[in-house]
Amino acid sequence: MKTPTYAATGTSISVLLYLSLAHLFNDAFQSSVTAVYPVIKDNLSLTFGQIGLIVLTYQLCASVLQPVFGVLFDRHPKAWYLSAGTVSTMTGLLILAFAGSMYGVMCAVVFVGLGSSVIHPEASRLTHVASGGRHGLAQSIFQVGGNFGGSIGPLLAAVIVAPYGQRYIAVFAGIAVISLLTKTPIIRWYREKIQLMRSGAVKKALIHRVRLSKKKIYFSLAVLLVLIFSKQVYLASLSSFYTFYLIEKFGLTTQQSQLFLFAVLFASAVGTLLGGPIGDRFGRKYVIWISIFGTAPFSLLMPHVSLAWTCALSVVIGVVLSSAFSAILVYAQELLPTRIGLISGLFFGLAFGIAGVAAAVLGSLADATSLSYVYKLCSFMPLLGAVAVFLPNVKPMKVKGLDANE
């Protein structure tokens, strides 16, 4: 009887759903922390400069370290990494709940940021393992959990922390215990994978290597990084300033503007879910090209239309643009199939870092000019999607070698 390979085990949908849930919890915690900064500022009488230093500390820990952890996870796979990331986040939330100074808050965001730096590359790497070859579908399932978590984090902060105070951040630490328990099936599944591999009961899987030179692979990665930059800068203008833009330009109330923002976030979740499977079927290059460059006509038109059309266009933009990330990440993973953790950490970290820096720069620019000017300027960013034309049409060939986890 033929010994099965990892690829032959098929797509582990239940594991993918648990990984998506892990992503949901993580991003909910991360976004809730940023949402409580105003409460922390008032309680501790911090200046905007001190808040900026806290944000910088968090961004460094939550984004820059992701590729470092990704390399570690590639070389030394362990089943407990996800749990360690959640424990780090839980520790940070507890410290934040009782922090009485700026330095206490900085210590808290270090732990929360480290948790994110562990969970993102490791969960994305395990998503690749559980995909059964359907990498786009798997990443879409994983990403949609993060999208949903990122959208509910501020809502939880508004319901739990804003009315009752800083100490109620400890409630999130309690929720983190639930998150820890939901990782048990993932840990059990991956421990079995590692044991089977080390015992020789399962053959080494075939790695799909692309027919490209190293120079062409690195050039393609550079193109993908440019695409991530254009996507994240435009998304930063939407996620950070969309409600303010609607209030300033159309005179909406805060509550009305938040309903429009929810529509955009929901559309983004739909786009994320669609992008991966479409890339699996028709090719990731075409999804990347259409997702980013295809957004340009809508983004260029949006600053010049009525409220109804602004809503319609922003929903279309949310669906189309958000379908790109899963395709970009899987395309990059297929370029370097033995460095899944590194690639996941690099692209997640870069996406986080660019979004944070872009939000700060765009905020300063809005102070100096106006939000309308910022939106007109950012509307040109999707045009950078044209560089996707330089991506090669990847046709992997199967090469017998190490499993992608090694």
**Superfamily of domain 207-406, CATH level 4:** MFS general substrate transporter like domains (1.20.1250.20)
The type of residue at 35 is: A
Instruction: For residue 208, give the H/E element and its range.
Output: strand 206-209
CA distance 332 to 339: 10
How far is Cα 89 from Cα 173, in angstroms, rounded to an integer?
A: 8
Q: Is pTM, for the whole model, over 0.85? A: no
Report pLDDT digits (tens) over 108-143.
Answer: 999 999 999 999 889 988 998 888 878 888 888 888
pLDDT at res. 5: 36
Q: What is the pLDDT of residues 255-309, one digit of tens each?
A: 677 678 778 877 887 888 888 788 878 888 888 988 999 999 999 999 999 999 9
pLDDT of residue 264: 82
Residue whose entry in the numeric block shows the structure tokens 């950070």: 240
- The tens digit of pLDDT for each residue in 141-163 reads 888 888 788 778 877 887 888 78
Rounded Cα distance between 288 and 327, Å, is 6
pLDDT the model gives residue 394? 67
Task: Report how far residue 287's alpha carbon sits from residue 402's, in angstroms, rounded to the nearest whole number.
Answer: 29
CA distance 374 to 241: 9
The length of the chain is 406
Are 324 and 281 contacting, i.e. CB atoms less than 8 angstroms apart?
A: no
Integer-rounded Cα radius of gyration of the chain: 21
Distance between CA atoms of 367 and 370, rounded to whole angstroms? 6
Distances (CA, A) of 195 to 119, 192, 209, 401, 404: 22, 5, 25, 18, 15
Q: Where in the chain is the domain with CATH 1.20.1250.20?
A: 1-203, 207-406
Decide: helix, strand or coil at residue 252. Answer: coil
CA 80 to mean position of chain CA atoms: 21
Q: Residue 261 has what pLDDT?
A: 77
**3-class DSSP state of 4:** coil
Q: What percent of the chain has pLDDT over 90?
A: 30
pLDDT per position as a tens digit, 337-355: 878 888 888 887 787 778 7
**Which pLDDT score, from 0 to 100, does residue 11 have?**
64
The more confident residue out of 15 and 5 is 15
Res 226 pLDDT > 70: yes
SS3 246: helix
Name the CATH code of domain 1-203 (choices 1.10.150.130, 1.10.10.10, 3.30.460.10, 1.20.1250.20): 1.20.1250.20
Q: Is the pLDDT of residue 317 over 90?
A: yes
Burial profile 171-201: b = 16 or more Cβ within 10 angstroms, e = fewer: bbbebbeebbeebeebbebbeebeeebeeee
Q: Are 362 and 376 in contact (CB under 8 A)?
A: no
Mean pLDDT of all residues belonging to the chain: 83
* 68, containing H or E segment: helix 66-75
Least confident of 133-147, 192-206, 233-247, 351-365: 192-206
Three-state secondary structure string covering 353-406: HHHHHHHHHHHHHHHHCCHHHHHHHHCCHHHHHHHHHHCCCCCCEEEECCCCCC
Q: Tell me, what's the pLDDT at 200?
A: 57
Q: Where in 28-167 does DSSP place strands (E)?
A: none
pLDDT above 50 (res 400): no
Q: Which of 103-107, 139-143, 362-366 has the highest mean pLDDT?
A: 103-107
pLDDT for the residue 81: 93
Given a cut of 70, whether residue 359 has pLDDT beyond it is yes
Is residue 401 predicted with pLDDT exceeding 60? no
Segment (H or E) for 399: strand 397-400
